[in-house]
Amino acid sequence: MLPPWPWPEPDDPPLLLLLDRRQPQVQALMAPLGDLLDPGERQRLRRLRRQEDGERFLLGRGALRLILGGWLGCDPAGLVLGVGPHGKPELLLREAAGPGSGGIRPQFNVSHSGDLILLGFHPERPVGVDVEQRRPLPEWEGIAGRFLSPEESERIRALPMERRSDAFLTAWCRLEAGLKARGLGLFGGATSGSGAREDPDPDHWPLVLPEGYVGGAALA
């Protein structure tokens, strides 16, 4: 088991970990990380029919357990992980933390797309991360009209045609990361229409990712 790692300071941005499942050293982690999964996670893994879906889930959940166990000074396989109302993973058995935890209550989030798995951590503030593989999105205007602000939609619309899909995905990552940080589902946090929320806007960080990907991170 890894020794406890130093946490970022409370005022620091989130600590991020990016895994690329194409890399040989990441592929070599598959079996060891699989040993950390609990019975429910193993069952969920078996239900994933596509190899890429299984690899993303295994790497994300296994790395999450490894890092949390190392920081908290306890067995990663013994951590009890659940999900919030909108699917955000959370640590349920905080009292099991070992002597290296220092009383911290870790906040974390996981996202994956294509070959990338992105994890975000913070010692105090709720964190959200989102990664998206770049792809053409001819239907972006309809989605933006439902979930982005009119100003954001207009800004994207003003760009050259070939840049709009990327710009929309960047805005989408920012939106998703912010919603995850606040523990909200997509429809619970829409910014357009009568159901708009008035919660304070989280702190956001755009991410520089490998070619073909965009992403964002947020702290509530």
Using alpha carbons, select from 69, 96, 71, 74 the residue that is nearest to residue 6.
Answer: 71
Task: Inform me whether the pLDDT recorded for 6 exceeds 60.
Answer: yes
- Domain range list for the chain: 15-107, 131-219
Rounded CA separation 26/30 (Å):
7
Q: Is the dihedral of CA 47, 177, 108, 115 positive or negative?
A: positive
CATH number of 131-219: 3.90.470
Classify domain 15-107 at the CATH topology level.
Ribosomal Protein L22; Chain A (3.90.470)
Rounded CA separation 192/143 (Å):
11
Matching fold, domains 15-107 and 131-219: yes
Rounded CA separation 152/114 (Å):
26
Q: Which residues contact 194 (CB under 8 A, 6 or more apart)?
A: none
Task: Inform me whether the pLDDT recorded for 197 exceeds 60.
Answer: no
Residue 42 tokens, joined? 């193993």
Task: Inform me whether the pLDDT recorded for 61 exceeds 60.
Answer: yes
Q: What's the pTM value of the predicted model, to 2 decimals?
A: 0.85
Residue 27 tokens, joined? 């592929």
Per-residue pLDDT, 188: 57
Task: Find the mean pLDDT for residues 96-118.
Answer: 78
Q: How confident is the model at residue 2 (pLDDT cuts 50, 70, 90)?
A: very low
Per-residue pLDDT, 97: 52
Q: pLDDT per residue over 134-186, tens digit each?
A: 999 999 999 999 999 999 999 999 999 999 999 999 999 999 999 999 988 77
**Share of residues in the chain with pLDDT > 70 (%):** 85
Neighbours of 18 (CB within 10 A): 16
Q: State the chain's mean pLDDT as an integer.
A: 87
Task: Inform me whether the pLDDT recorded for 21 exceeds 80.
Answer: yes
Rounded CA separation 52/38 (Å):
20
Using alpha carbons, select from 147, 217, 220, 131 the residue that is nearest to residue 188.
Answer: 147
Q: Is the dihedral of CA 40, 46, 47, 50 positive or negative?
A: positive
Per-residue pLDDT, 55: 97
